[in-house]
Chain A
Amino acid sequence: QVQLVQSGAEVKKPGASVKVSCKASGYSFPGYYIQWVRQAPGQGLEWMGWINSNSGAAKYAEKFQARVTMSRDKTTSTAYMELSSLRSDDTAVYYCARDTVALSGMDVWGQGTTVSVSS
Chain B
Amino acid sequence: SYELTQPPSVSVSPGQTATITCSGVKMGETFVCWYQQKPGQSPLLVIYQDTERPSGIPERFSGSNAGNTATLTITGTQAMDEADYYCQAWDSNTGVFGTGTKVTVL
Instruction: Give residues in A with beta carbon < 8 Å to B.
Output: 35, 37, 44-47, 49-50, 59, 61-62, 95, 97, 103-107, 109-112
Contacts and interface: CB of A to CB of B under 8 A. Distances in A.
Interface stretch (B11-19, B21-29, B65-73, B86-94): B86-94
Interface residues of B, number: 24
A50 B98 CA distance: 18
11 contacts: A45-B37, A47-B94, A59-B93, A59-B94, A61-B94, A61-B95, A103-B95, A104-B33, A105-B33, A106-B35, A109-B42
Contacts, number: 59
B90 A45 contact: no
The 10 closest A-B pairs by CB, nearest first: A105-B48, A47-B95, A109-B42, A44-B100, A45-B97, A105-B33, A105-B45, A107-B45, A104-B48, A45-B86
Contacts of B1: 62
Contact of B54 (A37, A49, A105): A105
Contacts of B96: 47
Contacts of A105: 33, 45, 48-49, 54
A65 to B, nearest CB: 11
- For the complex, would chain B's binding face be called helix, strand, loop or mixed by DSSP majority? strand
Contacts of A35: 95
Contacts of A107: 45, 48, 54
B95 A44 contact: no
Contacts of B95: 35, 47, 49-50, 61, 103
B44 to A, nearest CB: 8
Contacts of B54: 105, 107
Given A45-B35, A103-B93, A104-B49, 11 more contacts: A37-B97, A44-B100, A45-B86, A47-B94, A47-B96, A59-B94, A103-B95, A104-B31, A107-B48, A107-B54, A112-B42
Nearest to B43: A109
Contacts of B84: 44
B43 A95 contact: yes
A105 B100 CA distance: 17
A45 B31 CA distance: 18
